[in-house]
Amino acid sequence: MSTNERPSRPIKGLDRRQFLRASSLLGVGSLLIPRDLFGTPLAPGGGCAATTDDIQGPFYLPGSPNTAQVAQPGEPGTRLFISGTTLANDCETPISGVKIEVWQANAAAVYDTSQNFLLRGTVFSDENGLYAFETILPGAYLNGNQYRPKHIHFKVTKPGFPGLITQLYFEGDPYIAADPWASQPDAAQRIIPLNSIGEDQLDGQFDIVLDGTVGIKPNRFGTDGDLLPVYPNPMTERCSIHFNVFRSAQVRVLITDANGREVSMLIAGQQDQGRYTTQWDGRDASGKEAPAGTYLSVLEVDGRVVKAQRIVRM
């Protein structure tokens, strides 16, 4: 049983004002939330797996305010109430004092990266491991040649536990199947149903199960950047290479042959965090057409290879 298969419970029947009364103090670690708003833990022996990681994305900003109202009043979009429990890897023992930073796009699929910290917030789980926040349903944005499904980013930290960077997705989203991250088999536990609780109001439950291994557990997608699938591939005359930079850094995007020898340098220089696209026209550094064969597009951040993607040139 995955962590989102617990009986439906959340704050169904609570209006927006009641929800805020219950959750507004969570940002400073309130211990005042009634547990019956959140349901009951998984039964022992019901199966358990730690919440899996996901791509950080280029729009994380540290220092978001302690608030459970991630979307301020007047923010356009469908109101969304997320609540859950932070649990040990037995899916039963609650963990208090877990710091949960969230950030997301607005309804028009645009991220705010200013120090206004719009659609960003930090909450802490209470003594029963409970957390909650109010936001809006984010939009789906075009990333390269395909849309990313609607999602909310989470950065979860607690002393003594490995940090977790992940994303929350929503059932029924048509873009999940083609998304490089949401389509990962272990992302299924992070695709949750949403329930209607009134006009333009939805709620959902997302329990966060922390890994029990003390120490550092690197995010499998990295925190420096990411290289998306090349399109078209195989290529004939030209292909597009989409990449993300998660922090300001020296970035290189280059084409190599199958043995790692440089063929063409596409990007070299300082880049701010963000999404980028470049193209390769199938030529080498001297301007000659490269022969048909297998090549690699390579993303380097501060001199370290982050990821490579195979390109077949016809």
Other beta carbons within 10 Å of 149: 23
Residues 241 and 149 in one domain: no
| Cα→Cα distances 130→168, 170, 297, 314, Å | 17, 21, 44, 55
Half-sphere exposure of residue 71, counting CA atoms within 13 Å on the CB side?
Answer: 22
Q: What is the pLDDT of residue 268?
A: 96
Q: What is the pLDDT along the chain (314 residues), one digit of tens a residue?
A: 334 433 333 344 444 445 554 554 444 433 344 444 444 334 334 457 899 999 998 899 999 999 999 999 999 999 999 999 999 988 999 999 999 999 999 999 999 999 999 999 999 999 999 999 999 999 999 887 789 999 999 999 999 899 999 999 999 999 999 998 999 999 999 999 999 998 999 999 999 999 887 556 678 888 889 888 899 999 999 999 989 898 889 999 999 998 899 999 999 999 988 889 999 999 999 999 999 999 999 999 999 998 899 999 99
The one-letter amino acid code at 242 reads H
In a domain, 79, yes or no: yes
Nearest to 185 by CA among 309, 308, 3, 52: 52
Which CATH number characterizes residue 297's domain? 2.60.40.4070
| 250 bridge partner residues | 270
152-157 and 239-245 beta bridge pairing: unpaired
List 16, 35, 141, 247, catalytic entry: 141
Tokens 């004092």 — which residue? 97
Structural domains of the chain, count: 2
In a domain, 218, yes or no: no
List 79, 153, 275, 313, catalytic entry: 153
Residues 22 and 125 in one domain: yes
Phi, psi of 151 (to 5 degrees): -160, 160
Q: Is 153 a catalytic residue?
A: yes
Q: Which two tokens stand for residue 79?
A: 């109101």
Q: What is the pLDDT of residue 42?
A: 41
List 6, 79, 151, 252, catalytic entry: 151
In a domain, 266, yes or no: yes
Is the C-alpha dihedral spanning 285, 263, 267, 275 positive or negative? positive
Q: Is 111 a catalytic residue?
A: yes
Q: What is the pLDDT of residue 96?
A: 96
Residues 233 and 190 in one domain: no
Range of the domain at 294: 225-313
Could you give the 3-state DSSP secondary structure of residue 292?
coil
Which of 209, 238, 264 is a domain's end point? 209
Query: How many whole angstroms from its chain centre is CA 306?
Result: 18
List 60, 111, 175, 295, catalytic entry: 111
Is residue 84 within a helix (H) or strand (E), and if so which, with residue range? strand 79-87
Q: Which two tokens stand for residue 109?
A: 């699929």
Task: Quote the CA–CA distance of 194 and 191 in Å, as a whole number.
Answer: 10
Residues 164 and 64 in one domain: yes
Q: What is the pLDDT of residue 215?
A: 58
Q: What is the pLDDT of residue 144?
A: 73
In a domain, 216, yes or no: no
Q: Let me know: does 242 contact 144? Beta carbons within 8 Å.
A: yes
In a domain, 5, yes or no: no
Q: Let me know: does 93 contact 87? Beta carbons within 8 Å.
A: yes
Which of 177, 209, 241 is a domain's end point? 209
Residues 171 and 25 in one domain: yes
List 6, 148, 242, 275, catalytic entry: 148
Q: Is 148 a catalytic residue?
A: yes
Q: Is 242 a catalytic residue?
A: no
End-to-end CA distance of the chain: 46
| DSSP-derived secondary structure for 9-27 | -TTTT--HHHHHHHHTTGG
Residues 29 and 168 in one domain: yes
